[in-house]
Amino acid sequence: MLLTTIFPGGGQFYTERYAKGIIIGGTQSYLIYKGIQTQLRLNEIEKNLSGATPEMIENKETLLHQRRIITWWMALVWTIGILDAYVDAQLYNFESNLSLDRNGALKTELSFKIRY
């Protein structure tokens, strides 16, 4: 779980869930990129605010709204990644086998490994 707080999708890679790691890590990385890009554009507008036109002020408001939306999405994806990594880590050594017995009834076998 600690790995996923530092590296996007890291917890999923740790639990060998590579597809989820790529999806979550890629989504988090894209949102971080968009957040930085939006902030840099806001910084440019702030620098030129002395001669601001109504169009620039409207653009600033749009970028502020976009930054808020991106921040909420980043928080959501980050939280989902952490929770998913936690659940996968708890079930990492858990195995389940479904099979049929002699009478054709469903038989479930559960096993787990303890490493220390």
Q: DSSP per residue over 84-101, as a string? A: HHHHHHHTTTEEEEEEE-
Judged by DSSP in three states, 76 sits in helix
Tell me which of 112 and 22 has the higher pLDDT: 22
88, β-bridge pairs:
none
Could you tell me the CA-to-CA distances from 114 to 8, 44, 45, 47, 109 in Å, in that order? 28, 55, 57, 58, 17
What global pTM score does this model have?
0.68
Amino acid identity, residue 83? L
- For the segment 83-111, what is each residue's pLDDT rounded down to a tens digit? 888 888 777 666 656 666 777 777 766 66
- State the pLDDT confidence band at 40, using cuts at 50, 70 and 90: very high
- For the segment 58-85, what is each residue's pLDDT rounded down to a tens digit? 888 999 999 999 999 999 999 988 888 8
Looking at the chain, the number of H-run helices and the number of E-run strands are: 4, 2
